[in-house]
Structure 1
Amino acid sequence: MRLAIALGRRGLGQVWPNPAVGCVLVRDGRILARGWTGPGGRPHAEAAALARCDDARGATAYVSLEPCAHHGRTPPCSDALVRAGVARVVTALTDPDPRVSGRGHARLRAAGIEVVEGVEAELAHAANAGFLLRLTAGRPFLTLKLALTLDGRIATASGESRWITGPESRRAVHALRARHDAVLVGAGTARADDPDLTVRDLGVTHQPVRVVASRNLELDPESRLGRSAGEVPVWLLHAPGLTPSEGWAATGARLIDCPTGQDALDPRAMMATLAREGLTRVLCEGGGALAASLIGAGLVDELVIFAAGKMIGAEGRAGLGPLGLTSLSDAPGFELTHVQQIGPDLCQTWRRR
């Protein structure tokens, strides 16, 4: 099962809105075939494994999520396992999708196949947290990435930020982008940095969606994002009722209405909007005001902080905007899960308590 879960992780960032599932076929202690969800969500992991197996009769299928039981673009995987003659199916999680939700397990049992559920459930849940959150909470899994000096600054007072961290950390950020469905930034960051927000130099063919939270559409269509929107998707989240400029209409970017709060887009509404569009994993790369609004709303599931051995001082720009706290007990809490030195920098991963 651990191998099936690890195989499924290969699809992270490539399979939305589908889950990233892995499947391993075993008979007499020997692995017959392995499979994982393909780019775009097809083929499913079970179908991929069965296609690589000449004879699965009597085998055990280890699958990191309940096999589907509904007809979509492909027939149900539960039926495929029945036709293949597997004797036993071991799963980690029940699929919360109402089209499945126990029906896959029931179909297998009705065909006389032994079904074992809940194996390595915690590990499988962590691997597919985005898919599960989208279905159960109506929002994607959200990772916040911050590149900071030792004193928590993201830029000098003049806005200079290239480069706080070293090239090794920047390469690690590209790998982080590749494991997410979308990269999100605020309009201020998009204007100041004019970023590409693509995955580069890693040989990937599937790019994340570039999302900008721009309440008033204050972004130049001649920016790097605008000029490349026809090649890699760009979504602009904006306040309802705005009419885009002819320049943005010509770029091919998607403009999506989103409810607003007092002076910005409502963070919960933003995440709900992205979930409705099918996104399961979103990486936010700033700026400080957007990051603070997402943390304040309790929406940040994971923090990835790249800390460089530099100091800028109080006049530098803070990595996080105001949270409006009046008591230390109200401060959002995170638990450290991983620490790694990357080049000259330190990378810390924190999970929300």
Structure 2
Amino acid sequence: MAKEAQRPFITVKLAQSLDGRINAPDGTSQWITSDASRNHAHALRARVDAILVGTNTAVLDNPRLSARTRDGQLHAKQPYRLVMGRRELPAGLALAETPQWEQIATHDVHEIISRANELGIGHLLIEGGATVASAFIAADLADELYCYQAPLLIGAGSNSVNLPTTTLSQAHSYRLDVASNESLTRLGDDIMLHLEPLPRS
């Protein structure tokens, strides 16, 4: 559990282009990052207790949110799936192929944390989309970031985060996680940054 509060340790994962985009203007996003980055992200999924996405991501991307090995097999440990938001979800979503999932009809990050505590979740991974990731970052609830940076410029499309920042002093600052052996890692042609937040003044 995170030390500063009775809540899960929270990891935010970002996968983006050099200019911070997560898709092109037409919505295409597969695949911005490399196979090596996606394999690393699957190993990260296997280490957490639960994954959270928003309803838009659940519907538009239709992810399974499973943790798979390099050869496509399921890891022995699979995360619980959480979907945040009030949008009605259609039947037949890929993540609903397992009974280990639920929708939490809220936009309040603290309600998510309350439910995670009820479920006994010790490590929560925020996978997207930008609105959900931004909400946890803006609330200073991201204990670490994994940022997978692909070497391409898209020029337009959705930003990986949308924070209510109006001046530079409001920016959220991070540093490489010096306690990690993978704080700055090359994954195929991508660069992965493992970051920890600096205390906010």
TM-score (structure 2 length as normaliser): 0.89
Q: Which residue of 1 is the match for residue 15 of structure 2?
A: 147
> Which residue is equivalent to 1:317?
158
Aligned to 1:326: 166
> Of 67, 78, 93, which aligns to 1:207?
78
Cα deviation digits, residues 33-78 of structure 1 (max 9, x gap): xxxxxxxxxxxxxxxxxxxxxxxxxxxxxxxxxxxxxxxxxxxxxx
Match for 2:6 among 121, 125, 138?
A: 138
| Equivalent-residue separation in structure 1 for 2:89 and 2:20 (angstroms) | 27
Structure-1 separation of matches of 2:165 and 2:35:
35
What is the deviation of 1:167? Answer: 0.7
* Partner of residue 197, structure 2: 352
2:111 to 269, 278, 281: 269
Counterpart residue number, 2:41: 173
Deviation at 1:212, TM superposition (A): 0.6
Q: Deviations over 1:243-266 (max 9, x none)?
A: xxxxxxxxxxxxxxxxxxxxxx11
- In structure 2, the residue matched to 1:297 is 139
- Asked if the contact 1:138–1:272 (Cα under 8 Å) also holds between the matched residues in 2, the reply is no
CA-atom RMSD, angstroms? 1.4
Q: 2:104 aligns with which of 216, 233, 237?
A: 237
Any residues of structure 2 matched to 1:56-71 within 5 Å, and which?
none
Name the SS for the 1:284 alignment partner. Answer: strand
Counterpart CA distance in 2 for 1:196 and 1:213 is 15
Deviation of residue 345 (structure 1)?
A: 0.6
Aligned residue in 1 for 2:28 = 160
Give the distance between the partners of 2:110 and 2:139, measured in 1 at CA.
7
Q: In structure 2, what is the Cα distance between the partners aligned to 1:281 and 1:294?
A: 14
Check whether the contact 2:49–2:80 (CA below 8 A) recurs between aligned residues.
Answer: yes
Q: In percent, how many aligned pairs have the same letter?
A: 37
Once residues 215 and 352 of structure 1 are traced to their aligned partners in structure 2, the CA distance between those partners, rounded to angstroms, is 30
Cα deviation for residue 298 of structure 1 reads 0.7
Query: Larger relative contact order (C-alpha < 8 A, sep ≥ 6)?
Result: 2
**From 259, 283, 287, the counterpart of 2:129:** 287
More helix by share: 1
Q: Which runs of 4+ in 1 moved over 4 A?
A: none
**Residues of 2 paired with 1:300 and 1:281: CA distance?**
11
Gaps of 5+ in 1: 1-129, 240-264
Q: Which runs of 5+ in 2 are unaligned?
A: 178-182
Q: Which has the larger radius of gyration?
A: 1
**How far did residue 326 of structure 1 move?**
2.3
Paired AA for residue 341 in structure 1: R
Count of matched residue pairs: 190
Contact 1:268 1:299 in 2 (8 A): no
Please give the alpha-carbon distance, in whole angstroms, between the structure 2 residues aligned to 1:235 and 1:168.
29
TM-superposed deviation, 1:223: 1.2
Equivalent-residue separation in structure 2 for 1:277 and 1:309 (angstroms): 39
Contact 1:268 1:297 survives alignment (8 Å): no
- Do the aligned residues in 1 keep the contact of 2:43 with 2:69 (CA within 8 Å)? no
- Report the secondary structure of 1:154's partner residue: coil
Deviations 1:300-319 (A, max 9, x none): 11000000111100x21111
**Aligned to 2:22, what secondary structure does the other structure show?**
strand
- Is 1:144–1:304's contact at 8 Å kept on the other side of the alignment? yes
What is the CA-CA distance between 1:276 and the residue it aligns to?
A: 2.3
Q: Which amino acid aligns with 2:171?
A: A
Q: TM-score by structure 1 length?
A: 0.52
